[in-house]
Structures are given as structure tokens and as C-alpha cells.
A and B are shown apart, each in its own frame.
Chain A
Amino acid sequence: MIRMENVTKAFGDNQVLQGMNLEIPKGTSMVIIGGSGTGKSVALKCILGLIKPDSGMIYVDGKDATKGDRDAFLARFGMLFQGAALFDSLPVWQNVSFRLLRGPLKRPAEYAREIAIEKLRRVGLKSDVADRFPSELSGGMQKRVGLARAIAAEPEIIFFDEPTTGLDPIMSGVINDLIREIVTEMGATAMTITHDMSSVRAIADNVAMLHGGVIQWTGPVSQMDASGDPYVEQFISGSAEGPIEAVR
């Protein structure tokens, strides 16, 4: 469903992606792992068109992702940002049903609010959260609101950018379970970026290791521990010794 072919991207002298190839079949959950600054978020933003690759091709359902109706393309995606990226000026329910309050998917405000409350309940938040502002919520609650917003329009493809970063282990577990449930229930195609190995095991069908601007290894999560790939092994063990330099 999503295919990246020889995608490159540099920022000045820093060559972040150096010919990245990746394929994510429809309805599966792909988790990309890799050290900080290896270009995981850049890859994700290239697919969404938030960053323009220097070269290479990205296909979604066999079609060039850079061509065609941009709004229709983006309407197929939901995204949970690392810091949730909630709009400070809007109450929680308007954040969740943002798409339903404006643009081509616009619905009456009462209906949009009902959907928002339903999605909030889906991610384990009570309805009284709906009228609060993002600044009044804890980090974990903001992440869950971000998750509710990502799934509000029931997208076919969902991206999760470090969904558990900065959360305690219990909240991380809750978010991981939610993501797995949502992806399974909605039948969506998911791409997740994380450093958190417990998230990888909870969320992934397939795993890809990004290092040096290319995918070093990819395969089913069940084969990850026996991959034999030195990069994956070092990442799983968290060892300072190995092909991934500790000082970057």
C-alpha cells in the first residue's frame, strides 16, 4: 500500500535519507526503529508531503503520492504527533473533531461534538475532558486526545510519531494497547516511529531498522530477536558496543 523507492533527503550538508526503500502492505502495522536523528520522522513527513524528498519516489496504492488531489490524499491519513500538536486555542472536543467542523467533511457542531466525545471515550477519556483546553491536560491525556483526533475521521492510514515518548511505563502500555486495538479494529494501515522496544513488540506486525539513511533490516516482529542483523541486535540490547556509534 505504501512504497518508498530510493528516497533521499538532505538538510544542508546533513544527508539524512540516503536511498530509503520500504514497503508497508495494506492493513499491517509497520514500526520503524532507529537512533535519534536517523531520519525516521523525516521519512514519515516525506510520505505525507510535509517535507519534499530530494529524489526517489513514494507510492500510496500504486499512485505517486506527490500527484493528484492533495486534500483527498490527506483525508486518507490520520497522524499522532510526538508532542500531540493539539491546537492550544481550541477546546479538546474541537481538536478531536477538527476535520468535522470545517472543510469538505463539515458536519453540524452538535454531531461533531458527539463524535469527539465518542472518540475520547474510545481512548479512555471521560466526556468532561471535552470542554477543557489542551494546556489543562497532562502529557498522557494530551497524547490520548491526539490519538482520538488521529482516528476521528476513521482514516485508512495512521501514522504514530513516537507515541510513548515522555510517558510513564503504565501510560505507555495503555497507549500501546490502544494503538494495537484501533489498528486491528479499524483495519487501518499503520506506521509507527519509536525507540521504545516494548512499543515495538506491542504494536508491530513488521519492523524496519533505519540507520545511516537506509533501511538496514526489515522483517516480521516475530523474527526481530533472531534477525542476525548487528544494528537490530545492538538496538534491542541497548549496548554501547556495536556498529551504531554511541557518540553521534
Chain B
Amino acid sequence: MNPLAALGGLGRAVLSLLATFGKVGIFAVDAISHIFRPPFYPREFFVALMNVGWLSLPVVGLTAIFTGGALALQIYAGGARFNAEAVVPQIVAIGMVRELGPVLVGLMIAARVTSSIAAEIATMKVTEQIDALVTLSTHPMKYLTAPRVLAALITVPLLVGIGDVIGIAGGYVVATENLGFNAATYLQNTVNFLETKDIVSSLVKGAAFGLIAAIMGCYYGMNSGRGAQGVGRATKSSVESAAIMILAANFILTGVFFSV
């Protein structure tokens, strides 16, 4: 293979990636600015709140409870190697609140909400519903994007908070029912060990991940190609991008909050 051609291909890929970053960045700024500029669409916002927040509760709850339970079992088994089984409540708490709660909720939201937003908006685009909105003097960014982004920004931190509590509860149930921990001591250790910064970081991560999930869904939906293939591609790309950006943002925010 010609090395110059390979280098050219690599250059084109990097330029294309940078261009996409730029377009997503401009789209994000535009979407956020429309949250503050009238007209507002309260009905669409309420529907988005229900879809993003309320209807995500079951999947978030189940993800958190199983993860919390598995975490307790892992820490107990790992800790037993150096007689540190007693740290289960503290590590479950810190693991859920700082990392697993926000990341897993973020990823579940990317799977459930980003895909749904992208598919819905992309379908609206290919069936000319977005053009119809424009002809009805309705700005698609205000009507479709702003309510979804605002709803995700508000509800995902709440979901993360709920996921944290349910995850800790999962660990508590496993620890007290299967591993012989005292219930009162377990709760005492959990509460005493957590710091305000742990909880704040968890909620900030939730807000950031909610923003990423909604914006990626809207961006790929609005920029979908034609036909069923275009909708499929938009949905797939939105979830992939949201998941990767959530993991990258998690790394950055962890560094910001907890770098020594």
C-alpha cells in the first residue's frame, strides 16, 4: 500500500472527525441558546420530561440494584483475600456514587433516550414533518430540540441520584442478607463515608451526561440521511457517539473533581 495514500486517508479521517466535532459544538450552543429564547413549548417539555425521566426509572432502577448487589459480592470476595471484607459498605457507596451510578445511568439513557430521540427526529425529517414545522412558522430547534435537551438536563441528575440510592440499597440487601453484615452498621458506615463532593460530582456528571445524550440524539436526528437506512444510521451513530462522549466526559469530570 502506498504510504502517502494511507497518510492522506488518515488526514481525511482526522479532518472529518474535527469537522463533526465543530458541527456538534455549534449545534449544542444553538440548542442550549434556544432553551432561553421564546417562544417556549411547555407541552413538548412536559412530554419530554415524562419520556426522559419518568419512563426511564424502571430501567435505571433495575440497572442500579443489580450493579449494587454484584458490587457488594465482588468487594466481599476481593476483600477477603487480604481480610478487608468490612469495607463493603464504604466501597459500594463510593463506587456507586462516584462512578457506576452516573456512568451506568448515562449509558442506559444513551441506549434508551438518545436512540429514541434520534429515531423520532430522523423519521420526522425523512417524512418531511420537519419541513412542515417550518412552514407552520415553528422553529424545529425550539419545538423539538430545546424541550428534550432541557428535560434531559433536569431529569438525568435526578435519575443518577435515584440510581445511586437504589445501587447502595442493592449492595445493602446483598450484604445484610447473604454476607452477614449488620444492617444498622452497614448504613452507618455508608452515610459516614460519603462526602458532599461525592454526591455533587455524581449529580454534575448526571447533568453533563443528560446534556450529551439529548444533544447527540437531536443532532443525528436532524442530520439524518434519507429513507429507512438514513434513520437506522442516525440512530446507531447517535448512540455510539453519546456513549463514547459520556465515557470521555466521565474521565474528564473525575479528573476535575478528584485529581490529587
Counting chain B CB atoms within 10 Å of each CB, the highest count among A49, A78, A85 belongs to A85
- Provide the residues of chain B in CB contact with A71, threshold 8 Å: 137
- B138 and A103 form a contact (CB under 8 A): yes
In the complex, the chain A residue whose C-beta lies closest to that of B47 is: A89
- A81 and B138 form a contact (CB under 8 A): no
- Taking the nearest CB of chain A, how far is it from the CB of B31, in angstroms? 19
Counting chain A CB atoms within 10 Å of each CB, the highest count among B131, B132, B138 belongs to B132
- B136 and A82 form a contact (CB under 8 A): no
In the complex, the chain B residue whose C-beta lies closest to that of A71 is: B137
- Taking CB atoms and an 8 Å cut-off, the chain B residues in 119-156 that contact chain A are 123-124, 127-129, 131-132, 134-138
**Cα of A70 to Cα of B142 in the assembled complex, Å:** 15
- Provide the residues of chain A in CB contact with B137, threshold 8 Å: 70-71, 74-75, 99, 103-104
Decide yes or no whether A48 CB sits under 8 A from chain B.
Answer: yes
Number of B residues with CB within 8 Å of any CB on chain A: 15
- Provide the residues of chain B in CB contact with A75, threshold 8 Å: 137
In the complex, the chain B residue whose C-beta lies closest to that of A74 is: B137
- Taking the nearest CB of chain A, how far is it from the CB of B228, in angstroms? 14
- Provide the residues of chain A in CB contact with B54, threshold 8 Å: none
**Cα of A103 to Cα of B38 in the assembled complex, Å:** 10
0/1 string, A70-96, CB within 8 A of B gives 1: 110011011101110111110000000
- Within the complex, which residue of A45, A85, A89 is in contact with B127, where a contact is CB–CB below 8 Å? A85
- A102 and B131 form a contact (CB under 8 A): no
- B132 and A79 form a contact (CB under 8 A): yes
CB-CB under 8 A for A77 and B138, given A82-B128, A87-B129: no
- Within the complex, which residue of A74, A89, A103 is in contact with B134, where a contact is CB–CB below 8 Å? A74
- B135 and A83 form a contact (CB under 8 A): no
- Taking the nearest CB of chain B, how far is it from the CB of A94, in angstroms? 10
- Within the complex, which residue of B39, B127, B131 is in contact with A103, where a contact is CB–CB below 8 Å? B39
**Cα of A103 to Cα of B40 in the assembled complex, Å:** 9
Decide yes or no whether A246 CB sits under 8 A from chain B.
Answer: no
- Taking the nearest CB of chain B, how far is it from the CB of A204, in angstroms? 22
Number of A residues with CB within 8 Å of any CB on chain B: 25
- B135 and A48 form a contact (CB under 8 A): yes
Decide yes or no whether B46 CB sits under 8 A from chain A.
Answer: no
In the complex, the chain B residue whose C-beta lies closest to that of A50 is: B131
0/1 string, A38-51, CB within 8 A of B gives 1: 00000001001110
- Provide the residues of chain A in CB contact with B135, threshold 8 Å: 48, 50, 74, 77-79
- A98 and B136 form a contact (CB under 8 A): yes
CB-CB under 8 A for A81 and B132, given A103-B137, A103-B138: yes
CB-CB under 8 A for A83 and B134, given A102-B39, A102-B41: no
- Provide the residues of chain B in CB contact with A87, threshold 8 Å: 124, 129, 132
Q: Closest 7 interchain pairs by CB?
A: A85-B132, A85-B128, A79-B135, A74-B137, A71-B137, A81-B128, A85-B129
Chain B: residues with CB nearer than 8 A to chain A?
Answer: 39, 41, 47, 123-124, 127-129, 131-132, 134-138
Q: Give 22 A-B contacts (CB < 8 Å), ordered by A residue.
A: A48-B134, A50-B134, A70-B137, A71-B137, A74-B134, A74-B135, A74-B137, A79-B135, A81-B128, A81-B131, A81-B132, A85-B128, A85-B129, A87-B132, A88-B129, A98-B136, A98-B138, A99-B137, A102-B41, A103-B39, A104-B137, A149-B136
